[in-house]
Amino acid sequence: MVAVKYTLEDFVHDMDNLLVSQPTREKIFDRGSDCLSRLISNPDAIPGRFRQPVGSGGRANHGSWLLHHSPDSGLLVTAVVWGPGDHAAPHDHRTWGMIGVMDNALTETRFRRVDDHERTDWAQLERDRSSVVKPGEISLLIPEVDEIHQMDNFTDRPTVEVHVYGQDLRGLERVRYDLETGAIRRMMTEKYDNC
């Protein structure tokens, strides 16, 4: 008997059906995490070309690949590849998110904003926790509650993740935080490496 593997198409179908029902965030994370867990446990679910760093240009060691976007539900699915030594400074997302590791491991450090939020150009962050996220594990991003994180690949090979968000990050104004100065810098995803 041949085992049926859960595909990217299966995942998109299940997530779109879930989101159309206008679920609570809790239900999105509960059911969505189950679906994402099934997806990242299938090594063939993401084509090989989306599991490699770009290999050229300013971010040759990194890859951010659009896998699916559903304008009706807002669902966004990307593959993100962190090459050896890759780093992303603390940043927020402004939408719910689920991140599942497929290959290798990544160190994720979470932060809490502990200032009064009065200034738009400065913030005080406090380190909350740090963990090594391994294949099959999922991190949840909850806007304004638990979403500020820093990502580091301290290993000697690429790490592949599947990122799932409630809306397209292209054009969504977000911020990056400078831990040394407290400066807030506006940022926006403009494109993915394949489009």
94 occurs within a structural domain = yes
Q: Assign residue 160 the CATH number of its domain.
A: 2.60.120.10
pTM: 0.95
Reading the block at residue 139, the tokens are: 């991190």
13 occurs within a structural domain = yes
120 occurs within a structural domain = yes
83 occurs within a structural domain = yes
116 occurs within a structural domain = yes
pLDDT for 12-66, tens place per residue? 999 999 999 999 999 999 999 999 999 999 989 999 999 999 998 888 999 999 9
Quote the domain boundaries for residue 32: 8-187
Provide the domain count of the chain: 1
pLDDT for 157-181, tens place per residue? 999 999 999 999 999 999 999 999 9
Q: Who's near 75: CB < 8 A, 6+ residues apart?
A: 12, 15, 16, 19, 68, 69, 164, 165, 166
